[in-house]
Amino acid sequence: MAHIIIADDQEKIRPMLKSLLEPCGHEVTLAINGREALNQFRPDKIDLVITDILMPDMEGIETIRELRKVDADVKIIAMSGGGTIGATEYLRMAGMFGAKETIEKPFNVRDMLDIVLECLKE
């Protein structure tokens, strides 16, 4: 199956997504921010990156931009729970910078699985 990096600063989100994706046969690597995700990213080994938008050290939009510099074809799902301008605006910007799919937090786990499967089959 796929090797997926999950970048999120929320302590509950990372293990929740890992426990959702590993039973489907995916290998999951966790990162606490975009910088850590970028350091773990290898185009020949990573199939998908799921990144939060609002994180310390390196936020999600910058993470998406940097990932695209390394691999223009990397599949990225952006997620956000809001912030000062609201989740919808952050996710719209993430799509403009190269996120293939977006999802607003809190999300339904079935919706997340569907988005992951859709991204991986393309």
pLDDT tens per residue, range 53-109? 999 999 999 999 999 999 999 999 999 987 666 678 889 999 999 999 999 999 999
| Contact (Cβ atoms closer than 8 angstroms) between residue 67 and residue 93 | no
What's the half-sphere exposure (Cβ side, CA atoms, 13 Å) at 39?
A: 9
Q: Report which of 84, 82, 50, 43 is spatially closest to residue 64, judged by C-alpha positions.
A: 50
| Contact (Cβ atoms closer than 8 angstroms) between residue 54 and residue 83 | yes
- Position 81 scores a pLDDT of 85
- Position 88 scores a pLDDT of 85
- Position 85 scores a pLDDT of 63
- Position 17 scores a pLDDT of 98
